[in-house]
Amino acid sequence: MEPTFLKSILDNDFYKFTMQHAVIKLFPRAKVRYAFINRGKHIFPPGFAGLLQKSVDAMANLRLTKDEKHYLYHYCSYLDPTYLDFLQGYSYDPSEVHITQEGSEIKVVIEGFWYRTILWEVPLMALISELFYKTNLLIRLNDEAIKSLTKSKIDNYNSLGVSILEFGTRRRHSYDVQVLVNETLNTFGSQSFIGTSNVHFAMVNNKRPLGTHAHEWFMFHAAQFGFKMANLISLENWTKVYGGDLGIVLTDTYTTEIFFNQFDKKCSKLFDGVRHDSGDPIEFAQKVITHYTKMGIDPKSKAIVFSDSLNFEKVKAISDFCKDKIKMSFGIGTNFTNDVGLPAMNMVIKLNDTKPDNMHWQGVVKLSDEKNKNTGTPEMIALAKQVLGIK
């Protein structure tokens, strides 16, 4: 059995690069640990860790090409030229990734400087997913069936008149399936498909990459500045780096309720909108509309990016509710890139521990709007809830 090899250093979600740029500027000495979580209790066959290790080792050979650098310079003017020079000289260091296997369980831990290790999460998950299907000899739908299925989906979204994004890199069935999906979306989605979070595929299709930041941005800030100040300082630091660019905010690291209590008028006006990633999407939309109205801001001038396990039925229900109330777009992941006639994997790689400059190692916490998406030790979760006044 052959390992799987990535073809481009840009085969990653855009928010990893935007956060890396910000970390280099603000937290160059911070260290972190990430860990793989097998939520779906998937069974990995003997030798899986060895194949994954070979795939990881090969990533050390990836480099940003001149054409890729030119693409980023042209489409992402808010990324400093010094960062693009850094990225051109950057290479993955496989010694930062520790992979072991006991029976059918694998353990993956990433550790090192945050500015370096931040790029591992998404491609590692993509490799784990592709190798899982390959090593278990699971047969997917053929290419024509995948293209036909994707076309029927984008035809439905076209009929709704909504904006659709492809967010499916981390849990894709394979690179080849993501190629098929993006080709089909670009061919038939002119009315609704606006692009992808995958920088490599955005470049291939001559589109602007899409994304802003992830939960780890807020989780790190909580470790350095405390739970009560995490949201506010996270937003201030994001503004310090990007001004008014990349203005979609993730709200649910410490519950949306807490976030909106701290999302003051200045921030509400400055940022373009918010991203929904957990909890009931209709309830979330109503909270967002109510918040902007309370701030004296026309909700129709703002946007929500919905991105939580979406399919056509969910998108239609959300669209029906939000229409003529607030702008909206929909980031669809697994339903595009891993709907191939096999059960999709349920896994994550999450930030576990941080070591801010001149501080000790400490665990981090995420308090999602869905209880089963909380991460952190029970003690740290309890502490965060106590500090934030969450019952």
> What torsion, rounded to 10 degrees, do the Cα atoms 142, 148, 149, 152 define?
180
Confidence label for 370 from pLDDT (cuts 50, 70 and 90): confident
**Residue 391: inside a domain, yes or no?**
no
Question: Does residue 389 lie in a domain region?
Answer: no
Burial label, 257 (beta-carbon count in 10 A; 0-12, 13-18, 19+): middle
Is residue 25 domain-shared with residue 52, that is, in the same domain? Answer: yes
Beta pairing class for 327-332 and 303-306: parallel
Same domain? For 372 and 269 the reply is: no
**Boundary (domain end) residue, out of 288, 313, 337:** 337
**109 and 202 share a domain?**
no
Considering the domain architecture, whether residues 178 and 213 belong to the same structural domain is answered as yes
Tell whether 112 is covered by a domain. Answer: yes
d(CA 25, CA 69): 19
User: Looking at the structure, do residues 348 and 244 belong to the same domain, yes or no?
Assistant: no
Band of the pLDDT at 351, cuts 50, 70, 90?
very high
What pLDDT digit, counting tens, does each position of 244-263 carry?
999 999 999 999 999 999 99
Buried b (16+ CB within 10 A) or exposed e, 279-288: bebeebbebb
Q: Is the pLDDT of residue 1 over 90?
A: no
Tokens for 214? 């992830």
% of the chain at pLDDT higher than 90:
96
Number of domains in the chain: 2
366 shares a domain with 319: no
> pLDDT grade, residue 32 (50/70/90)?
very high
Residues 163 and 42 in one domain: no
Is 1 a member of any domain?
no
Give the residue-averaged pLDDT of 373-382.
90
**In CATH, what number is assigned to the domain containing residue 154?**
3.20.140.10
What is the span of the domain harbouring residue 120? Answer: 14-139+342-378
Contact between 365 and 384 under an 8 Å Cβ cutoff? The reply is yes
